[in-house]
Copies of this chain bind each other. A is one copy, B any other.
Amino acid sequence: MNKDLAISELTERFGTKLNVSTADREQHGQDESSHAVRLPDAVLYPTTTQEVADAVQICARNRMPIIPFGAGTSLEGHITAPHGGVSIDLSMMNRILAVHEADMDVRVQPGVTRQMLNTHLRDKGLFFPVDPGAECTLGGMVATRASGTNAVRYGTMREQVLSLKVVTATGEIIETGNRARKSAAGYDLTHLFVGSEGTLGIVTEMSLRVYGRPEKLMAGVCHFPSLQAAIDTVIATIQMGLPVARIELLDELSIRAVNSYSGLKHREAPTLFLEFHGATEAVDAEVHTFSTMAAEAGGSEIQFADHQEDINKLWHARHQLYYATRAMAPGKHIMTTDVCVPISRLGDCMLATRRDMDESPITGTMLGHVGDGNFHTILLADPNSLGEMRALEELHDRMVTRAIEMGGTCTGEHGIGIGKQKYLEMEKGPAVHLMRQIKAALDPIGIMNPGKLLPGMEAGE
């Protein structure tokens, strides 16, 4: 690796678009997790695909690591720079290039956030459904195969990406697909890049599916006497094929955190946050069916949000849960983790995890995109207590191992990053060997986000 030469060539090519100030480097070395921070040597703010390609070529010549950067909101250490290198911050590439209303797709640059896109689409009667908690970029969401509360109905980023423009690890510019809704033409490069965490190339444009806003939308909350009762209701809902748009479970402590952080007054009980989308008659019928099932499990009547403003407030509070939990114990080490299991195992997995948390010294909230079988814990430990920190690690390890043993995955939506590499190996076994072969083929000198996703793969220094 020749860092100095790389930086001098980048400076010559990019001038003030390259920044080596400590403040900038610090902003780009740490995501929202508590994973170890390592700073990049420089931060580059490209504005075009060609600039990204030029930067990659300069870095490739000098074996300089590249860390693609969106909004820095990831949770598994994806943007830290264990080998130094250049953080390529794509936030300046934030233009919405086209909205094809007739085809219900859009073309955007990677620095566009989901909120920007939805604001732009609002008066066209369209929306983009994938909604992780953070104010993240669509590029980052592609990189981590992100998901959110609407995935039970609309799918994750995997289902929304039609095509990607990618700068490869050798600085070539390719387009992985096109705007046709389906294709049997060759290897599915689009889905290879979705979820590759910046380790195979840099996405510089993307075509995404968007959806018509439903005729009717009803959102509300439903309280339950126990976690078991809430989960049983979720499982029954999914198994009967009721097309809920959102069905989110928050445990008692989550509700307490949300109430305190957002000044709300939800009853402190296991609660489902719900949303139904569709034609008026269909939504009314779905609400009726759901209410009957919920009542049988001891659930309350659904308290509906009456106005769009109340609906927004409801979901905003839900999305703030990570920050709300953190605010319960300022200064504590925070770990958030997510797993996903087949829906039939969701009850067993969540209840065993909750029991395990209750029996440990660790405070934590549990919540989930439960319609997918996906749930999270947000765990707090005193960084000065060796006992708490060890208990935290063990709790995490048991939760992830339990999910894998139940036929699930070590992460439903956060990704591997540096935090879950050992679980990738546990879950995928010899398939990780193929991932390594693909990485070596597409990034032969190992400059793309080295040290992430694949266990035991280092930068090719």
Chain B contacts of A175 at CB under 8 A?
428-429, 431
Contact of A384 with B by CB under 8 A: no
Instruction: Tell me the A149-166 residues at the B interface (CB within 8 Å).
Output: 151, 156, 158-159
Interface 1/0s, chain A 228-262, versus B by CB < 8 A? 00000001000111000000000000000000000
Q: Is the pair A424, B185 in contact by a Cβ cutoff of 8 Å?
A: yes
Chain B residue nearest to A433 in the complex (CB) = B172
Q: Is the pair A174, B442 in contact by a Cβ cutoff of 8 Å?
A: no
Contact of A453 with B by CB under 8 A: yes
Chain B contacts of A103 at CB under 8 A?
342-344
Alpha-carbon separation in the docked complex, A343 to B180 (Å): 8
Alpha-carbon separation in the docked complex, A69 to B188 (Å): 21
Stretch of A12-20, A115-123, A409-417 that contacts chain B: A409-417
Q: Is the pair B409, A178 in contact by a Cβ cutoff of 8 Å?
A: yes
Q: Is the pair B429, A174 in contact by a Cβ cutoff of 8 Å?
A: yes
Contact of A109 with B by CB under 8 A: no
Q: Is the pair A185, B410 in contact by a Cβ cutoff of 8 Å?
A: yes
Contact of A291 with B by CB under 8 A: no
Stretch of A189-197, A297-305, A387-395 that contacts chain B: A189-197
Q: Which of A372, A409, A415 has the most CB of B within 10 A?
A: A409
Contact of A460 with B by CB under 8 A: no
Alpha-carbon separation in the docked complex, A178 to B403 (Å): 11
Contact of A432 with B by CB under 8 A: yes
Q: Is the pair A179, B437 in contact by a Cβ cutoff of 8 Å?
A: no
Q: Specify which of B183, B414, B427, B442 is in contact with A412 (CB 8 Å cutoff).
A: B183
Q: Which of A104, A185, A453 has the most CB of B within 10 A?
A: A185
Alpha-carbon separation in the docked complex, A409 to B176 (Å): 12
Chain B contacts of A285 at CB under 8 A?
279, 281-282
Alpha-carbon separation in the docked complex, A437 to B170 (Å): 12
Q: Is the pair A373, B181 in contact by a Cβ cutoff of 8 Å?
A: yes
Alpha-carbon separation in the docked complex, A183 to B430 (Å): 18
Q: Is the pair A185, B435 in contact by a Cβ cutoff of 8 Å?
A: no
Q: A281-B285, A342-B100, A407-B178 are in contact. Are A420 and B185 (CB under 8 A)?
A: yes
Q: Is the pair A185, B279 in contact by a Cβ cutoff of 8 Å?
A: no
Contact of A23 with B by CB under 8 A: no
Q: Is the pair A158, B172 in contact by a Cβ cutoff of 8 Å?
A: no
Chain B contacts of A263 at CB under 8 A?
none
Chain B contacts of A189 at CB under 8 A?
431, 434-435
Contact of A168 with B by CB under 8 A: yes
Q: Specify which of B341, B344, B416 is in contact with A102 (CB 8 Å cutoff).
A: B344
Q: Is the pair B431, A176 in contact by a Cβ cutoff of 8 Å?
A: yes
Q: Specify which of B174, B181, B187, B440 is in contact with A196 (CB 8 Å cutoff).
A: B187
Q: Specify which of B159, B180, B191, B427 is in contact with A178 (CB 8 Å cutoff).
A: B427
Contact of A376 with B by CB under 8 A: no
Q: Specify which of B151, B168, B187 is in contact with A435 (CB 8 Å cutoff).
A: B187
Q: Is the pair A434, B442 in contact by a Cβ cutoff of 8 Å?
A: yes
Contact of A182 with B by CB under 8 A: yes
Q: Is the pair B181, A372 in contact by a Cβ cutoff of 8 Å?
A: yes
Interface 1/0s, chain A 83-103, versus B by CB < 8 A? 000000000000000001011
Q: Which of A146, A181, A441 has the most CB of B within 10 A?
A: A181
Contact of A144 with B by CB under 8 A: yes
Contact of A40 with B by CB under 8 A: no
Q: A281-B285, A434-B174 are in contact. Are A188 and B182 (CB under 8 A)?
A: no
26 contacts between A and B (CB under 8 A): A100-B344, A102-B239, A145-B183, A146-B184, A158-B182, A159-B159, A178-B404, A178-B407, A178-B409, A179-B407, A180-B409, A181-B340, A182-B409, A183-B412, A184-B195, A184-B414, A185-B409, A185-B423, A185-B424, A186-B195, A187-B195, A187-B200, A188-B188, A278-B282, A281-B281, A281-B282
Hey, which bits of chain A sit against chain B, CB under 8 A? Answer: 100, 102-105, 144-147, 151, 156, 158-159, 168, 172-189, 191-192, 194-196, 200, 211-212, 235, 239-241, 278-279, 281-282, 285, 340-344, 372-374, 404, 407-416, 420, 423-424, 427-435, 437-442, 453-454
List 8 tightest A-B contacts by C-beta distance, closest first: A441-B441, A191-B191, A183-B409, A102-B344, A174-B431, A180-B340, A212-B241, A180-B409
